[in-house]
Structure 1
Amino acid sequence: MQELAEKKPKEGQDKFYGRIRNQGLNWNRKRIARVYKMMGLNKRRRGRKRLPARVKQPLIIPLQPNDTWSMDFMHDTLMNGRKFRVLNIIDDFNREALRIEPYFSIGSNLVIKILERLVLERGKPMAIRVDNGPEFISSALSEWCLEKQIKLLYIQPGKPMQNGYIERFNRSYREDVLDANLFESIHQVRLLSDEFLEDYNMYRPHESLNDLSPITYRLKKCG
C-alpha cells in the first residue's frame, strides 16, 4: 500500500484495491479501506508538480538588441533577518542590465508588470530565457508572452549554465553589492543596486565585449 501511495499519489482507495487484487493478493475491500485510513491516505495530498521535458537551448550570442533577454532571481537578507528577492533582467546581446528589482516578495504578476514597463521603454524581445522557477512557469507569464508574441526559452532543470549570461551577471552583482554590504532596508538595497547598474552598463569593461562597457558596445555596433 505504501509503495502504491508513493508511486501513484493521485489514485485513491478503489484504484489501490483493483491493483492489489490484480497482483493476486486476496485482500477484501474492507481490509484495504481500513489500512488505507490507518496510513492516513484518505487525507488529501498535494502531488509533486512535474515539469514538461525541456529541450536544451544553445547559448548563442544574439546579433542585435532585443533578440534575447535573460531573467533570473537572487536572494539575500536585511540586517534584521528579513529575506528579500532580486529580479535581474539583461539583454544577451551586450550583457546590458535592463532591470535590477529588489522586493520582499515577487510573484508572477509583479514579474509581468516589470516586463510591461521594460517593453514600453525598450521594445519587446523576441525571446526571454528563464529557469523553471514557479514565477516563470506560471500560466500568467506564459499567457502574457503568448499575447505579446514573445518566446519563453526554458533551460533544463539543474543546468544553470544554459542561462550563463545572467549567471555571470549575478556573480558580479553578488560580489559587488549583496556580499559587500549590510542592508538596513530594502530602500538601501535599491539605491546600491541602481548605482551598480549604472556603473556596470556605462563604465565596466567586459572581456567578451572587447573590453567595452555594454552601452559603449551597443552604440558601436548599432549606432
Structure 2
Amino acid sequence: MLFRCPAFIRGNNGPELTAAALAEWAELHGVILDFIQPGKPMQNGCIERFNKTLRTEILDMYLFRILSEVRVLTEDWRAEYNEERRHSSLGDMPPVIYARQKLAGDPHWRWY
C-alpha cells in the first residue's frame, strides 16, 4: 500500500470536510482542500461513483448490529476493491497494480 499525503482533497461542503481540525491538518501537511460547488455532485464524479458502489455492495446489503461489523466488512471490501478487482478505467487492472506500474515508469507521476 502507498502511504503518502495527497496533494489535494476534493469534496463537498459537508461538515466533515469543513471542520477546523481537517483544515489545520491540511495546512500542516501542505494539502490543498478543494470544495465543489454546492448542489453539483457531478464535479466530483469519481468519488460519487465510489460512494454509490460502496453503498450498493456493502452498506445497503447488510443489517449491522455493531460498528465493528461495519469496519470488518468495509475493510475486506476495500482490500478487494483496490487490490484484486479489475477496473475498466485503469486498463482492467486493480488500482494497486496500476499505481505501481505508473510509479515505476514515470518518476514524476504522483499517486493521489
TM-score clears 0.5:
yes
Deviation at 1:180, TM superposition (A): 1.4
Paired with 1:138 and 1:198, the residues of 2 have a C-alpha distance of 28
- Distance apart, 1:140 and its partner CA: 2.8
Alpha-carbon distance in structure 2 between the residues aligned to 1:190 and 1:138 = 23
Higher RCO (Cα < 8 Å, 6 or more apart): 2
2:33 counterpart SS class: strand
Tell me, in whole angstroms, the C-alpha distance in 1 between the residues paired with 2:35 and 2:54: 23
> Which is greater in Rg?
1
Structure 1 equivalent of residue 107 of structure 2: none
Give 2:57's match in structure 1, choosing from 158, 161, 176.
Answer: 176
- Which one of the candidate residues 67, 81, 104 is aligned to 1:200? 81
How far apart are residue 134 of structure 1 and its match? 1.5
1 CA distance for matches of 2:16 and 2:55?
Answer: 21
Identity, % of aligned positions: 43
Q: Structure 1 length normalisation: TM-score?
A: 0.44
Q: 5+ unaligned residues in a row in structure 1: which ranges?
A: 1-97, 99-120
Match of 1:129 in 2: 10
In structure 2, what is the equivalent of residue 213 of structure 1?
Answer: 94
More helix as a share of residues: 2
More strand by share: 1
Q: CA deviation at 1:138?
A: 2.4
Q: 141, 166, 169: which is aligned to 2:47?
A: 166
Say which SS state the counterpart of residue 142 (structure 1) adopts.
helix
Report the 3-state secondary structure (helix = DSSP H, G, I; strand = E; otherwise coil) of the residue aligned with 2:18: coil
Which of 5, 23, 32 is the aligned partner of 1:151?
32
1:206 aligned partner, one-letter code = H
